[in-house]
Amino acid sequence: MHESSLMTGLLRHLTEVARQHQAARIARVDLKVGALLSITPDHLRHHFAEAAHGTPAEGAQVHVRLTEELTGLELESVEVES
């Protein structure tokens, strides 16, 4: 599943960000999504919530911005909590 591979890579990166900042959890994630990715923001949030279960990103707010400039998914910013 395409969404699954997107989430695996994203959550691997977010777990590393939490580790580097010695953070207990990821509070907020801002993503840019290419319009051609064929995934809606709500669908992306749903897959994120499922994939984040048991990780530092569980319960994080996910903000998604659609853009014409991308064909994939890009992490814009991450907010961590100690």
CATH for 56: 3.30.2320.50
At residue 40, the pLDDT reads: 86
At residue 70, the pLDDT reads: 84
At residue 69, the pLDDT reads: 85
Q: Which residues of the chain have pLDDT under 50?
A: 1
At residue 1, the pLDDT reads: 43
Query: How many Å apart are CA 51 and CA 53, to the nearest integer?
Result: 6
Q: Whole domain around residue 68: which residue ranges?
A: 2-81
Domain count, the chain: 1
> Is residue 51 a contact partner of residue 8, using CB atoms and an 8 Å limit?
yes
* Residue 12, token pair as written in the block: 């691997």
Q: Is the pTM of this model over 0.85?
A: yes
Query: How many Å apart are CA 80 and CA 68, to the nearest integer?
Result: 28
